[in-house]
Structure 1
Amino acid sequence: MSLCINPRCLQPSDPLNANSTICRSCKSELLVQQRYRISRLLSDTSGFGAVYEADDRGTAKILKVLKEHLNAQPKAVELFQKEATVLSQLKHPGIPRVEEDGYFTFFSRNSEQLFHCLVMEKIEGFNLEEWMNHRDNEPITQEQALDWLKQITQILDQVHQQDYFHRDIKPPNIMRRPDGQLVLIDFGTAREVTGTYLAKIGGSHNVTGIVSVGYTPPEQAGGRAVPQSDFFALGRTFVYLLTGKHPNDFPEDSRTGELIWRNTVDCVSQSLADLIDYMMAPFPGNRPQNAQVILDRLVEVEQTLNSRQTLDRPIKDYPLKRNLPNSLELSEPTKIQSISPNQSKPEKLLLRQFDSSKWLAGGTVLLMGLGGIGYWQSTQKPLALTAAITNTSLSPPEVSNTSSSPEVTNTSPSPPEVSNTSPSPQLNPSQFPLKSQEQGVTLEVLSVSKQGESVLLNVKLKNEGANSVRFNDSSLNVTDDRDRTLFKTTTGLPLELPANGKEVSGTVTVPTALWEGARTLSLTLTDYPTGKLQLKIPGIPVTR
């Protein structure tokens, strides 16, 4: 087959063009540059250009053609030419090869405009977004993450050493060859780091902002990208690969801006998660300053994982509520492994403390003779949480006294009965509904209910103001009375409230496992992007 790439051609895929050099419909050349025969259209969904597969004398290549309406826009042409320049200078198996004559222009028949074209190596395989979709978004393993992170960082090291940075790292822009080699593609947004560019952003002169929602760092969204912006996007990419969820599906800490994603992964070590968070630091000065820093940290992570003398547990292994057995058996204390000096201390290290004691006292001989009261208590309590156990004092249990004289129920030492249910929230509905109102916008908590291991806040929103109000995924935050930001999901709540609109109802679901000891929750809703509207409902009663 031979396609015509003239956008005005009425029959670009005419099968009779197969062995011809001129299009039967529009008379445009089918053998582009007297060399490339276009075999099929791969993608025409982006707003930037069309992507074709081309045959270069028996070798499959990729041909990118800038869309016709962008030919008159100098910035679009500049970005297109930039990709050709960058790729022709970089030589790495993780970067598509472009020959020196890979960029060219041509006129099609019946058109007075130039068409900008770029021919590059065709990468066999899927991009990582497609690859994940084929796996039903099953998260990759930690071993695979370490390998892939090292590969992409090495590619970025090569790019940054040539004084360029990519500015659009995300799963669709990373290809995977059949042999497992990753390839970074789409260098049209790459930027050269020059003294003039650094002076521009240092003097608050914004440059063109490239935004991929969920992956672009804050400074780049404002037109002030730096090489460390690539590390933020790469960290967000690995959040997606390790969780199978888009970064925008996770909340951000309202105080620090950090992504709250760790509690959704099972088998990622603390040291790797720390590295990814380091790369995603909201302020670029707090990220790794160059790719070699990341590569060095990866070596440390691998050494940590390979060492049997260090403790690097999965980050999801946080203390959760437990069902306590009816009778407790004395067990040996768990040995706590040491942490090597080179290993960063985990944020929440689960240490188990066994505190066992026995209390035995002889009773006074009363009417029924000599009786013995035995009491034995043992608790297994994570330091990070306070477990609620039926009897926590070391004093003897009360003796049943249903008759005029005390009756001893057991004549031999035995442990007291312990409740077999884990602590669960006791919801107090007496204070509802709770309301916050500002600038004509009302946030209302109608009720609170418990569903399994989560608490559901039933909320209502209404905008009676003259202007619509927008939100984003991190606009809504839930904290407890210990000032801990809690993971939450929302259902039915929109990202925009129209002016003078109707009431909108939805739910906010908060897992109870990690807010032991809290008595109240607070709900805060902030508009986006100004942050001038802030609705807060403190003291939502959820007592234990």
Structure 2
Amino acid sequence: MNNQTIFQRYHILHKLGEGGFGTTYLAEDLQMPSRRRCVVKQLKPLTHEPQIYQLIKERFQKEAAILEQLSSQNRQIPQLYGYFEDQGQFYLVQEYIEGDTLSSLMEKKAIFDENTVKEILLKLLPVLNYVHNSRIVHRDIKPDNIIIRRSDNSPVLIDFGAVKESMGTMMTPTGSPTSSIVIGTPGFMPSEQSAGWPVYATDLYALGLTAIYLLTGKTPQELETDPLTGEIIWKHYVPQLSENLTYVLDKAIKSFHKERFLTAQEMLNALEPLSSSPDTVVVCPPTQVASISSSKSNGLKNLLIGGLIVIPLALGAYFWQNQESQNGTIEPNSPQKSPISSNTQNSEQQEPNFPTNQNQFDLVQFPQPSCGDSLPSDFSSYPLNVYPVFIEFSQNNFQYIRQNFCQDSFAKIRQDTGEKAIQIASFSNLKQAQEFSEFIKNQVGSGEVGEPTLVQQHPDQKIVESNPVEGQTLDEVQAKYTIKHLYDLLSEKNYPQATQLFSPQLASQFNPDFFNQFQRVTVENLQMISSTDSTIEFTGENTYIYWDGSTQRELRSYTVSNINGNPKIVGSKFMRVIKFKS
């Protein structure tokens, strides 16, 4: 395409790079007096089928608008000059950053010293904090995507993943838009990203590995992994590294995302606790984001957790309070009672009424493990109607709600509209549901009360096993994530949410005492061995890490089925010991 002119405006000078999603060119803008140089990215959709092509176009436009907003308020993100569609291809026109990528600099100087790497981190972390505060996960941080700008030596973050993801938009058998691709670069992607579920700590993992690459010259694929813990072994390559930077990088690249820094600001504070970020970084985050973009769904359908009863509910509060009444004490990490998880049957323990002119949820400290009413313990109260509160589904919304408001929120197909949504709470009182919905809408720009749902029975009553729903396809990525998420919850000792990933029959057999003997349990190397539309069977390797540091590994099988529109683990069997306890 060299020497060609596209859109009657951009004269192509030469190719800068090419990848699976398209080609990047250096060009001149013929309509600017200076003929300023710019970067033109040509993005190629995976299909040109008319209905899907229109969806791709809409998602591309939304993601371009988000990129424009990000770049307009931060000098360390290339400005978006324009975007357009031409002859079935999509184009982004961005600011040309004169400088070198970290990859090209590594080729010139072999490795970076500690002070240089630390300076890069101190300048990049505020940028990531700004991006994350805008509810965006970059998803492809690596040395190729960080340019050191020649004019001021500031690192510039390029090539955000969401725009590329829009090119992989496809249609599910049920007619819902989804993405057929996982954005990221092997080696720099942690397990949750490979499973299609990136979080903010995903970017910090990739940034940590980028820093280790600069210090050691070793790519992630060249680093060994501890077979017992799954952690990356790297510190022996830089034995003189300061204790502070060693700690920061080691924490950033933990295999379990909740053991990493949860925010870029937290990582920045740990890196330089006594000083503010450098003056060369220009960060101007908006004080409030009016709404959450719904364009970033990566195709995880009807995801995460349902209830132990006929319909999914936010049941965290019930299990915590039930545990308190049985044991006489509250577990060290269990939530204290609050208006958002009150027991409707024990009026003497309820919080005082709030003033009628104030939304009671304004006084609640978020995030909460569970939002909504506890289920009545009186079996005669059933069946009863509950009022679910929904927000519009997108992966961005899901991450934001779970991290900042209701940690047991889950995705489902709404019975009243047939659309995919995020259920964040359920209330037996319509007025309270409406008030919570209004509170959430004021916070994130989306929220409504759904049609009442009938709860047939309390989970302590006899449970009737549900059958897989015929005609609803279970996705392999979705099923794998359910298994991995189970062990994340078990390692946190969050048994109420963990049991919600089981089928009712399996949940009734669950014994938390077994997992209390371990500090952590992990699952790796999940391999699909059989599948139908609604059921997938895997084998996986479990590592049991005891409190004294000893470990044991075994091979297990897992069966995941689509039950009532949600992935559930319906079976798990021991196969053999890989490594005995030592």
Query: What is the TM-score when the length of structure 2 is the normalising length?
Result: 0.42
Higher share of residues assigned helix: 2
Larger radius of gyration: 1
Q: Which has the higher contact order (CA 8 A, sep 6+)?
A: 2
Query: What is the TM-score when the length of structure 1 is the normalising length?
Result: 0.45
